[in-house]
Structure 1
Amino acid sequence: MRDDQPPSVGAGPHTRPWPEDPRLDPELLERGDRRNVTDRYRYWTVEAIRADLAARAHPFHVAIENWQHDLNIGTVVRNANAFGAAGVHIIGRRRWNRRGAMMTDAYLGVHQHGSIERFVAWASDEDLPVVGIDNLPGAVDIRRYAL
């Protein structure tokens, strides 16, 4: 690569003959795949990536309350994806800045709940415990909590 050219992200067009794999997107094979995905998912369709991540997901969900501003929601979504969460739940306002998620919200289920009560009802219906994490005075040290 020349110093005066921007670095290239992803992979260019795939050489022919193309692999026979139903997970692959013919358009990405033809034009190249410049998405922010790991090499494992290079040229895969969004649906195939979502299905594979869901099959590999750990049995935990991450929830964040969107009550004043959304500066950290994208980061939370991105980290939940990186740690293999089964889903992300945004409680409160529906709007949030997706740029911080860096497109990981395309591959991970992001659900919206209008209130904490609605989220807790959903978790109860799914038989999932709700564990709140905070650093306020009186909080239990997570390293000493039996998860």
Structure 2
Amino acid sequence: MEGFKSSVPRLFWPKKQFAVVDDILSELYNVNPKDIDIGKNLFGVGQVDFGYYSIIIVSLVILFIIYLLGILVKITTPYPTFLWLISGNIIFFLINIEENGNELFIMLKNMIIILILLMIYLITRKIYSMVLDKITAVRQAH
């Protein structure tokens, strides 16, 4: 929940409040807050939200992301620019260590934007191809 909260702009959620991840984890594991040194990435935020279940849940999320990467690589292989954008976005997420927990939502937002751009490109290319075919047919008729 903390990762989701930090990804929503205050414009849409003006009264949102954040919990201190270190305090929650120190209470969960019964240690001094100064002894907590967990990255505020998907793993740390997953521990805050799901406790010990985060080991399974975060692993499943990462497996799903890798599966999604495989599907998107198949779709975008004929379009190298989109292939580069999509794989770069996902790989950056997977190697990112220190963040604030919202990188998953930022990655998904970026993926949606890239896929919308891909759809616009494909539609534009199809329209251009149809117009070019008509122009060629008219020229050949004369």
Whether TM-score is above 0.5 comes out as: no
**Larger RCO: 1 or 2 (CA < 8 Å, sep 6+):** 2
Larger strand percent: 1
TM-score (structure 1 length as normaliser): 0.27
Larger radius of gyration: 2
Larger helix percent: 2
TM-score (structure 2 length as normaliser): 0.27
